[in-house]
Chain A
Amino acid sequence: MRELRVDPIQCQGRGLCAAAAPALVSLDEWGYPLLADGTREPITSADERAAKRAVRACPRLALALSPR
């Protein structure tokens, strides 16, 4: 299964990932993305398009979708 990963050093909480894929990414009280496993979240094939949208939305290039 693919994984959505955030690089917590690059991430500055701009929040565009959550705007691009609201069903997939929610933000904490400081505006940083909440992923299931801290910095990672397994992505089902149904969610892949949303995950790619979130990745593309990040101006910091902090999000990545692991290769299949």
Chain B
Amino acid sequence: MLTTAQRPRLLTSTEPGWHAHIRAHGPLPPWPAAPSNRLLLEVEAAGLRGRGGGWFPTAAKMRAVMTASHNGGGPAVVVANAMESEPASLKDATLLAASPHLVLDGLVCAAQAVWAQEAILCLPQDNPAVPVVASALAERSSRGADPLPIRLVCPPHRYLSGEESALVQWLNGEEARPSMGKPYAAGVQGRPTLVQNVETLAQLALIVRHGAAWFRSAGTQAATGTTLVSVSGAVNRPGVVEIGVGTSIVEIVNRCEGVSAPVQAVLTGGYGGAWLPAALGELPWSPEDLAAHGGSAGAGVLVLLPGDSCGIAETARAVSYLAEQGAQQCGPCRFGLSALAAHMHEIAQPATSPFDQRGAAHLSSRIRGRGACRLPDGASRLADSALEVFADELSAHRRGQCSGGRQVLPTPRRKGLA
């Protein structure tokens, strides 16, 4: 079931205040008097999956937290994750700036689903939505709108500070580095902790109001509902669009008023995602369809690479960014990722020295699956996809030619942990 002209569900409001929110969405159903699994069953029936990048079934995550809670873990904690680490992503900040109350409703619903007694919203210090969220929280507390306290905290903005276990580490007073721990079993203060992306929570707030069947009326069989996509690069109107999952890439681009230059390839998912050739423009934007062609829906990042950019050079810059943002904890990632970045930069230079891209492929395979978090896997996938999609570019480099130096991938200066 592909929705061609899905009406926005999340991005409907132009005014972030309480009254506009209630006018647009109506109030939340009352908090039940006794613990109940009705909400969890509704989330399961809706087929909601996490929008932070992993597309993991939300109900399964909730169940894991509840099981840990029942098995002596004590009352759960819910964490709304708006850390938005992918540099080309702005969906979470956009959503929070437009509809902070929808996200906060979702956070309250998630707390209800796992019977949590504490809720925390994590938003980077430098995020423009911070004052909007702070005033939304003030509005809610003056109304006594929420049955549990919601705390706003602002961790440092780094690639890994939004990684679930790293975020929990930071909330526990440590550096925001990934751990081998399982937040669902022992997270914030050692308690079972449900960490959900803010878009996932906003979707949850709508499921609670309109039900599972309504939610499933958009999206594909496997990935239901609408989703936010941050579109940038060679488009006329870069920004965030809300689409039914399964909308084609071409249609997403049309929603951004079309391409602004000939496009050679698209980056899907983010720096933890993968390149696809522009010829796959008709591909539906869903985790399954993209993965079947080597792409990734990830955190909803879509970057269009114009013809006068060099895909290898752009990838080299992205891999360097990931290398410097690594937590420097796991050897294979610490040594392998910087070696991979150096190698990518080398083959990005047209014919300055004889090169061999098999070296990059080897380094990429050396780091895959060998870290505590998914950062090395993402970098490896990104590099592998570049070597495949930009094979012609590599041949041109050997002849001393290059498509051009236009840069479209952002590499924000963020303090690393190194």
Contact = CB atoms under 8 A, between A and B. Distances in A.
| A-B interaction | yes
Interface of A: 7-9, 11-13, 28-32, 37-39
A31 B332 CA distance: 9
Nearest to B177: A9
A36 B390 CA distance: 29
Given A37-B369, A39-B370, A8 B329 contact: yes
Among A7, A9, A28, A37, max chain B CB count under 10 A is at: A9
A9 B179 contact: yes
A39 B331 CA distance: 12
Given A7-B180, A9-B179, A30-B336, A38 B331 contact: no
B332 A32 contact: yes
Interface secondary structure of B, over-half rule: loop
B368 interface: yes
B369 A9 contact: no
Contacts of B186: none
B329 A38 contact: no
A11 B330 CA distance: 7
Interface of B: 178-180, 329-333, 335-336, 366, 368-372
Contact of A11 (B179, B331, B368): B331
Chain A contact residues: helix, strand, loop or mixed: loop
A39 B179 contact: no
A8 B366 contact: no
A9 B336 contact: no
A37 B377 CA distance: 12
A9 B370 contact: no
Contacts of A30: 331-332, 335-336
Contacts of B331: 8, 11-13, 30-32
Contacts of A37: 369
6 contacts: A8-B372, A9-B179, A29-B366, A31-B331, A38-B370, A39-B370
